[in-house]
């Protein structure tokens, strides 16, 4: 039977303490023990259903993590206070001083800055490579490499990573493949395609209401247990714990993720086709001329579309800024970073979410001054939204070139 991540979520029944349809939220930083022996035992090793202190684990975060593991078809998961906490904890757990990471050069700006500026202070270095070029990846791997790192769909140009091919390279060299799946929850299942660790910024689509920052790591039982080890785990010792009230609201939002992803995807495809039809340069994996469209068709979980992000190259910073101001005035959405919100958000990555990447690198990747990243909202009538965008394009001097 086809794997269906939304059905996995749907089949979860979590009864609250008093029979509530939502499980009770744990409101405790610490937990009582009925004997000294039990406390000593728990400090020694984990005991199923026993909680020690909320920074280590609590029941609400466990409920959420267990559902995330089902969604990604992993053995276990750990919810964290942010996507960056999930990424940094994972990499610190996998690498020690002297170790190396080979990363895709097209990653979120914050991830790039972590790899480029912060991890080297701990003696962990990174080589940034074009992940579409497997020979370049192989050439960058050394005996010290521990991790291949990429995003399933890259930010913001939506290059799709060939996870099975990357997994083969990782296996050959006995290293771990870590995939950030923030842009394509439900659509792609990286663990099933051969990744060892999957990460999400739950701030985005998984939560969907842009009202909190959160993240998660999904992997094997052993890896997830190592993250919260009392003596050495980064999720325990660096303290990136998700608040249990937030975990409870994320768990509720997770149950509407399939409806939202489908609608984001439908709207994004409509907008991408509209912009393409206007003669503009558009990046969207749902478009037939996108270089990874066929790959997506073969490897995605069917029924959730191709994602809610579309990139548009307007050609110049001035045109991009003009268009974004007009679209905000005309209520298309907000000029704001982030993604996965129910309203449309747009920003220019070169001057915001990718600004940590040096200018020459941005140029070689193809992230120009005029690039706009759209996170398409859940608009009921996307054709009407496109009409408004058409007016904005005309006013910004980006009118159709078709007739010319």
Q: Which residues are near ligand PLP by CB under 6 A?
A: 82-84, 108, 110-111, 151, 155, 180, 182, 201, 203, 213, 215, 353
Q: Which two tokens stand for residue 163?
A: 């996870």
- Tell me how far, at minimum, the Cβ of 162 lies from ligand PLP, in Å: 18
Pair 346, 374: CB distance under 8 Å? yes
Listed residue (271, 275, 285, 277) closest to 382, CA to CA:
271
Q: Which two tokens stand for residue 132?
A: 């579409």
- Tell me how far, at minimum, the Cβ of 131 lies from ligand PLP, in Å: 14
CB within 8 A of 13, min separation 6: which ones? none
Pair 380, 266: CB distance under 8 Å? no
* CB-nearer residue toward ligand PLP: 155 or 176: 155
* CB-nearer residue toward ligand PLP: 91 or 382: 91
CA distance 304 to 306: 7
* CB-nearer residue toward ligand PLP: 108 or 334: 108
- Tell me how far, at minimum, the Cβ of 214 lies from ligand PLP, in Å: 6
Counting Cα atoms < 13 Å in the Cβ hemisphere of 298 gives 9
* CB-nearer residue toward ligand PLP: 84 or 312: 84
* CB-nearer residue toward ligand PLP: 217 or 389: 217
Listed residue (255, 246, 228, 229) closest to 81, CA to CA:
246
- Tell me how far, at minimum, the Cβ of 153 lies from ligand PLP, in Å: 9
- Tell me how far, at minimum, the Cβ of 111 lies from ligand PLP, in Å: 6
Q: Which two tokens stand for residue 313?
A: 């190259």
* CB-nearer residue toward ligand PLP: 371 or 392: 371
- Tell me how far, at minimum, the Cβ of 385 lies from ligand PLP, in Å: 23
CA distance 170 to 160: 17
* CB-nearer residue toward ligand PLP: 148 or 396: 148
CA distance 45 to 43: 6
- Tell me how far, at minimum, the Cβ of 207 lies from ligand PLP, in Å: 9
- Tell me how far, at minimum, the Cβ of 134 lies from ligand PLP, in Å: 22
* CB-nearer residue toward ligand PLP: 178 or 213: 213
- Tell me how far, at minimum, the Cβ of 43 lies from ligand PLP, in Å: 30
* CB-nearer residue toward ligand PLP: 316 or 338: 338
- Tell me how far, at minimum, the Cβ of 151 lies from ligand PLP, in Å: 5
CA distance 357 to 370: 16
Listed residue (215, 308, 206) closest to 251, CA to CA:
206
Q: SS3 of 350, please?
A: helix
Provide the 10 A C-beta neighbour count for residue 195: 30
- Tell me how far, at minimum, the Cβ of 253 lies from ligand PLP, in Å: 15
* CB-nearer residue toward ligand PLP: 145 or 210: 210
Q: Tell me the Cα Rg of the chain.
A: 22
Task: Characterize 225-240 residue by residue with b for buried, 16 or more Cβ atoms within 10 angstroms of its Cβ, and e for exposed.
Answer: bbbbbeeebbbbeeeb
Checking 379-383 for CB contacts under 8 A at 24+ apart, the result is: 379/267, 379/344, 382/266, 382/267, 382/270, 382/271, 383/270
Q: SS3 of 192, please?
A: helix
* CB-nearer residue toward ligand PLP: 110 or 370: 110
> What residue is closest to ligand PLP based on CB?
83
First to last CA, the chain: 51
């Amino acid at each position: 039977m086809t794997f269906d991540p939304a059905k996995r979520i749907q089949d979860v029944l979590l009864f609250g303490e008093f029979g509530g349809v939502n499980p009770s939220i744990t409101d405790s930083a610490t937990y009582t023990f009925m004997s000294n022996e039990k406390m000593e035992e728990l400090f020694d090793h984990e005991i199923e259903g026993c909680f020690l202190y909320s920074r280590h684990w609590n029941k609400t975060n466990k409920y959420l993590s267990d559902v995330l593991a089902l969604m990604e078809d992993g053995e276990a998961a750990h919810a964290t206070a942010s996507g960056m906490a999930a990424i940094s904890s994972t990499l610190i757990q996998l690498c020690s001083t002297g170790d190396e990471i080979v990363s895709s050069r097209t990653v979120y700006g914050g991830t790039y800055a972590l790899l480029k500026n912060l991890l080297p202070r701990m003696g962990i270095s990174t080589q940034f490579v074009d992940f579409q070029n497997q020979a370049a990846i192989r050439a960058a791997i050394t005996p010290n490499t521990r991790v291949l790192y990429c995003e399933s769909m890259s930010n913001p140009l939506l290059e799709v990573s060939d996870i099975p091919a990357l997994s083969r390279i990782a296996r050959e060299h006995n290293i771990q493949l870590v995939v950030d799946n923030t842009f394509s929850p439900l659509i792609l299942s990286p663990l099933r395609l051969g990744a060892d660790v999957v990460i999400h910024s739950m701030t985005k689509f998984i939560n969907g209401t842009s009202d909190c920052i959160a993240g998660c790591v999904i992997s094997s039982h052993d890896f997830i247990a190592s993250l919260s080890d009392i003596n050495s785990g980064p999720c325990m010792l660096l303290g990136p714990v998700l608040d249990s009230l937030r975990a409870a609201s994320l768990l509720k939002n997770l149950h509407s993720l399939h409806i939202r992803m489908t609608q984001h995807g439908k709207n994004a495809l409509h907008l991408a086709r509209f912009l393409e039809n206007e003669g503009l340069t558009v990046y969207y994996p749902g478009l037939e001329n996108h270089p990874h469209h066929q790959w997506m068709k073969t490897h995605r979980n069917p029924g959730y579309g191709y994602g809610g992000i579309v990139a548009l190259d307007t050609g110049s910073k001035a045109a991009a800024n003009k268009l974004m101001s007009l679209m905000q005035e005309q209520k298309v959405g907000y000029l704001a970073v982030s993604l996965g919100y129910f309203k449309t958000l747009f920003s220019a990555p070169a001057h915001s979410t990718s600004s940590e990447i040096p200018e020459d690198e941005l140029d070689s990747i193809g992230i120009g001054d005029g690039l706009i990243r759209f996170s398409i909202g859940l608009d009921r009538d996307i054709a009407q939204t496109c009409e408004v965008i058409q007016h904005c394009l005309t006013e910004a001097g980006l009118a159709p070139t078709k007739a010319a």
